[in-house]
A and B are shown apart, each in its own frame.
Chain A
Amino acid sequence: AQKITQTQPGMFVQEKEAVTLDCTYDTSDPSYGLFWYKQPSSGEMIFLIYQGSYDQQNATEGRYSLNFQKARKSANLVISASQLGDSAMYFCAMREFNNAGNMLTFGGGTRLMVKP
């Protein structure tokens, strides 16, 4: 079974609107962390936001927020006030506490395209 599932291969959003990128995960480990990364066409992976499984509040970082629903095992990324520069691939990733090393498991990604 896939550990990280991103069901939206591609999405369009109008500039200045908000957009939600979906991520569901599968783990039996009670302790885990969830990450979102942005990958522009240039290739680098940029860390955006982190949510720990025991965090009481949803993480926020500027225009990025994480809608963490633990019971549903979902960790959706919300980008508010989209900008043209937000057009990129977005990856959700998970690290499990009992996983050897510091390994991240990545989802397949969502391509976001912001329309002017």
Chain B
Amino acid sequence: ETGVTQTPRHLVMGMTNKKSLKCEQHLGHNAMYWYKQSAKKPLELMFVYNFKEQTENNSVPSRFSPECPNSSHLFLHLHTLQPEDSALYLCASSQTGGLGQPQHFGDGTRLSIL
């Protein structure tokens, strides 16, 4: 396996469900990110982890709860979501340090809230 892998690719859930999105990177990177991409809106950064420590929470509602157990894995736990949370959720990873380090993205999880 190479790159950044996200599971599941698609998820449909009710507003009262609890689910988790998973992201795994095989690139040896030490920073990981969650983004939200809604229709007709720019990509929104949600969370940043550097060396397993959360360094950025971009005013994300508490119904989204990230977890980074190690530098290769990142989770996004979902609970009591709202219809406006339907979106494509993208995970990315990068090396820290250096302006020119690109972020490498997974294929995303397309989330639909009923």
Identify the A interface with B (CB < 8 A).
4, 31-33, 35, 37, 42-47, 50, 52-53, 91, 95, 97, 100-104, 106-109
Interface core residue of B41, B48, B102, B110 (most chain A CB under 10 Å)? B102
| Chain B contacts for A101, CB-based, 8 A | 31, 48, 50, 55-56
Name A's interface SS: loop
Asked if B90 CB lies within 8 Å of chain A CBs, one says yes
Are A100 and B42 interface neighbours, CB within 8 A? no
Nearest A residue to B93, CB-CB:
A102
Are A52 and B50 interface neighbours, CB within 8 A? no
How far, in whole Å, are A108 and B38 apart by their CA atoms in the complex? 11
Are A103 and B94 interface neighbours, CB within 8 A? no
How far, in whole Å, are A101 and B55 apart by their CA atoms in the complex? 7
Known: A45-B92, A109-B42. A104 touches B108 (CB 8 A): no
Are B94 and A43 interface neighbours, CB within 8 A? no
Nearest B residue to A55, CB-CB:
B100
Asked if B114 CB lies within 8 Å of chain A CBs, one says no
Are A33 and B99 interface neighbours, CB within 8 A? yes
How far, in whole Å, are A43 and B90 apart by their CA atoms in the complex? 9
| Chain A contacts for B13, CB-based, 8 A | none
How far, in whole Å, are A14 and B104 apart by their CA atoms in the complex? 30
How far, in whole Å, are A59 and B33 apart by their CA atoms in the complex? 26
Nearest B residue to A44, CB-CB:
B107
Could you jot down 19 A-B contacts, CB within 8 Å?
A31-B99, A32-B99, A35-B102, A43-B90, A43-B110, A45-B90, A46-B105, A53-B99, A91-B43, A100-B55, A101-B31, A101-B48, A102-B31, A102-B33, A102-B48, A102-B50, A102-B101, A102-B103, A104-B103
